[in-house]
Amino acid sequence: MDELIRRARRGDQEAFVTLMERNKQSLWRVAMAVLHDPDDAADAMQDTVLEAWKNLPKLVKTEYFTTWLTRILLYNSYDILRKRRREAPAQTLREEGAEQRPDDTLDVQRTMAQLAENDRLILTLFYMNDLPVRAIARVLAISEGAVRVRLTRARERFKRAYENGDDRKERRA
Amino acid sequence: MSHFNDDILRSQLDPGPLPEQAQQKLNRIYGMLDAVPQAKPVRPVRLRWRRAAALAVAAVLALVGGTVALAATGGLMPMVQGIISFFNGSQTTNLDSLQPVFEAHNAAVEQSVTDQDITFTVENVSVDAGFVNIFGRITTGESIGALARRQNQISAVDAEGNIGEPQPYYTYGLPSWNLVRAVGAMPVVRVNGQIYGFDNTLSDSMNAYLEDDHTLVFARRILVPDGLPDTFTMEILPHYYTDENGEHQSLMNHEGDWTISVEVDATAAREAVKTLAAGEIPLGDAGRLDLKHFRWSPLGTLVSADEHVEAVPGTGTADGAFPDYAQAAGYLGLDRVAIRDDQGNWLYPMIPAGYDSGADHVAEYTSPAQGTRSITFVPASLSGGGEEKTVLAQPGQKIELGKDYGYVIERIETAAQTLTITLTPYGPRTAGSVGLEVFPCGAGGQSLDGNDRMAYEAVTDHITGAVTLEYYFDMEGEPQGLEQLRYFTWGDLTLDEANAVTLLLE
């Protein structure tokens, strides 16, 4: 990937497109974790790719490419979230954000919807994008200790919400 | 019975593959790259390594020790009383609580290095056995404000693929962290070949403001867990990183060499330094705290522990990358220990709290009361937490993080685009928490600007442990409609006093 980054930095569009295609699924996961809406997530990714193309020559340390790209995406995602919340009450947004997957029960959907965006985000960065703690610390600009504590707590909150959903299913059964 | 496991977690987090509609948006951008110019690349400049003869001598002297040999090189700077101009600015900074301490114990260095048309100046250093504080400025012909504002801009792309005009991400001025990011400054020091400050990059540790558009005034606080000798030579670098080509310094995206060498005499503070013996502290069934350092010096109190967090064999990818980490059985971290002086005062960790240096967790705490002769470590366990609560936004109300501990609202102030809340701690505390998540809300519980993502800075008073939360709003005028504070609990802290251990300070 280093070679692709170096070529893209010098204006090689084919290398840049290859780079973005390799990272698009990771970006998609992060955008959805924050925004929980496919249209907004697609917009955030679009803005991110454009910004990455413009600013890639300024990236000095290619080994930080992933965290750099993820941070751009987070800025764009937060901006969309901020604009979206100016137009709709928070409670409505949470319900709208829940994905309607046909094989999920309503309780599981509620579990994800109950999680705050920052919980979904850090769990996604670690469990789905496989970023090490040090990289997550750089992306979120917090200490590694804080990353570990947030991961533990987010996982616990998720587990609690999931188990509450399980209990409700068992009681109904 | 719970069926929860990591596979379930992953399956719930997975949003599925990128949908076709999103791919089409990406393809549209790919198709228009020709029309979008790239920024100018950063051109690395070959470093001019400058090593004065005095530094080579100092490296030997650091092993030999002794003031006589250092005096032979000249320039030994004792810590004395003196004004530090960093505190003359109109900004409030998160080191203000320590201004009297710094000004009682610092050296006026007044040295500058210019490279790449950027001048790095160290005006004062305030140093003792556990802390290095650097006060200075960075001056450049470029507009720092313009660079910071450019980094604050994003260009949106609409549904038709048209690129919008750049818009500021926020409009509430240029906070310290924005300026620091723009300049790229994060000073570190090298003593006896060891770099300090590279890991300690929390927002609390670097303060900056603009004196004018070309001058950044900064203060940098570095924790030194290993401790420093009474006299030593210290190299101060405004920035530092390494790669396969060696060491580098970079300011404003220009590589250069701005190393400033200072010979420090911190002997005056020696008598006031109190420490605890390093070693494993048995804290009952909860486990052992592997204490590496407890150092109470005039400039602050530093605690470091080896928390024995290790990679779990057999986890991670096939080639061993990204393993899971777990704490070795029988060990505690600083997040499981509350610390108290012998006058009953809890020591409060700074928020944000500490950093990890390899396996060690290093944290700064408020200092024991004067006259303290022993320190008690109390094993603590946390249960529950993550519950959302609200409290009336009025002085005297309590933010109850758990049973018997939290913060009392001391003061709430508003100004143009900002809201400041000052909180006084009560009850015990452990280090390692993520910091307060407190959201100013209206009567209905919604955030004041409809967004839980408002920027804020948390500053801990280094003397009292009081926390000041400063919120920045992207709106005209003073924020209106504050009725409540919404926050997340940390959980109930249960102290095992029966297994507390008290150690005498040395």
**Averaged in consecutive runs of 10 residues, what is the pLDDT profile of chain A (173 residues)?**
84 92 93 88 92 81 81 81 53 33 44 62 86 78 68 76 60 44
* pLDDT tier for residue B203 given thresholds of 50, 70 and 90: very low
* pLDDT tier for residue B233 given thresholds of 50, 70 and 90: very high
pLDDT at A90: 37
Pick the closest to residue A15 from A25, A29, A2, A26 (CA basis): A2
Residue A96 forms contact with B (CB below 8 Å): no
Q: What pLDDT digit, counting tens, does each position of B367-424 carry?
A: 999 999 999 999 998 787 777 899 999 999 999 999 999 999 999 998 877 888 999 9
Nearest chain B alpha carbon to A158: B9
Kindly determine whether residue A128 and residue B13, on different chains, have CB atoms separated by under 8 Å. yes
Distance from CA of B453 to the nearest CA of A (A): 7
Residues 298-337 of B with CB under 8 A from A: 309, 317, 321-322, 325, 335
Average pLDDT over residues B29-56: 53
Q: What is the CATH number of domain A1-97?
A: 1.10.1740.10
Residue B358 forms contact with A (CB below 8 Å): no
pTM greater than 0.90: no
pLDDT at B6: 79
Residue B433 to residue B489: CA distance in whole angstroms: 11
Q: Would you say residue B224 has pLDDT above 80?
A: yes
Average pLDDT over residues B276-287: 93
Residue B332 to residue B261: CA distance in whole angstroms: 39
Sign of CA dihedral A86, A88, A91, A93: negative
pLDDT at A165: 62
* pLDDT tier for residue B164 given thresholds of 50, 70 and 90: low
Q: Would you say residue B338 has pLDDT above 90?
A: yes
Contact B467, B459 (CB under 8 A): yes
Contact B355, A143 (CB under 8 A): yes
CB-CB: which of A51, A79, A157 is closest to B386?
A157
Q: What's the count of helices (H) and strands (E) in chain A, helices before strands?
A: 9, 0
Q: What is the pLDDT of chain B when averaged over all its residues?
A: 79
* pLDDT tier for residue B286 given thresholds of 50, 70 and 90: confident
Q: If residue B207 lies in a helix (H) or strand (E), which one and from where to where?
A: strand B206-212
- Assign a CATH topology to domain A100-173: Arc Repressor Mutant, subunit A (1.10.10)
Residue B435 forms contact with A (CB below 8 Å): yes
Residues 128-147 of A with CB under 8 A from B: 128, 130-133, 141-146
pLDDT at A142: 64
Of the listed ranges B22-26, B150-154, B386-390, B395-399, the one predicted with least confidence: B150-154
Residues 136-195 of B with CB under 8 A from A: 154-157, 163, 169, 177
Average pLDDT over residues B292-300: 94
pLDDT at B232: 93
Residues 33-92 of A with CB under 8 A from B: 33, 38-39, 41-43, 45-47, 49-51, 53-58, 60-61, 63, 75-76, 78-79, 81-82, 85-86, 89-90
Please state the domain extents for chain A: 1-97, 100-173
Looking only at the bridges linking them, the beta strands covering B337-341 and B76-78 are unpaired
pLDDT at B55: 28
